């Protein structure tokens, strides 16, 4: 049990669909992150939220829209995705940003058809 949960674990969606990924952390952390892990590429940070405020957007296309309603929940809203967006999407949390240890969820395996 990592303390960070993600739903759904698997998702298949068409390019015209709209879906959302959910992440919840039970660790009392203040920072949450979205990462993308594609085959044969290093893990890429997408967004960082610190105390519910977005502090980093790593040049992510607008078809990915994050939402952080509170320090425990993080969403990634998806719309009009492309097949190359198929990947494992990982959520993480830490006590604060930067110098603190990150804890990861199990990920959502997304396939865009």
Q: Residues interacting with other proteins, by CB under 8 A?
A: 2, 4, 6, 31, 41-45, 48, 50, 55-56, 58, 88, 90, 92, 97-99, 101-107, 109
CA distances from 1 to 8, 54, 57 (A): 16, 27, 29
Q: How far is the CB of 80 from other proteins (least distance, A)?
A: 26
Q: How far is the CB of 111 from other proteins (least distance, A)?
A: 13
Q: How far is the CB of 86 from other proteins (least distance, A)?
A: 14
83 vs 98 by CB, closer to other proteins:
98
In angstroms, rounded to a whole number, what is the distance separating the alpha carbons of residues 87 and 109? 6
User: Who's near 27: CB < 8 A, 6+ residues apart?
Assistant: 3, 4, 93, 103
75 vs 103 by CB, closer to other proteins:
103
User: Who's near 42: CB < 8 A, 6+ residues apart?
Assistant: none
């Amino acid at each position: 049990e990592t303390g960070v949960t993600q739903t759904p674990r698997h998702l298949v969606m068409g390019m015209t669909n709209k879906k959302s990924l959910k992440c919840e952390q039970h660790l009392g952390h203040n920072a949450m992150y979205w990462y993308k892990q594609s085959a044969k590429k290093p893990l890429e940070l997408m967004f960082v939220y610190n105390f519910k405020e977005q502090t980093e957007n790593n040049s992510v296309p607008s078809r990915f829209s994050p939402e952080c309603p509170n320090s425990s929940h993080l969403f990634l809203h998806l719309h009009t995705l492309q097949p190359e967006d198929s990947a494992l999407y990982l959520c993480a949390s830490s006590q604060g940003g930067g110098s603190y240890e990150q804890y990861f969820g199990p990920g959502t395996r997304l396939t865009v058809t």
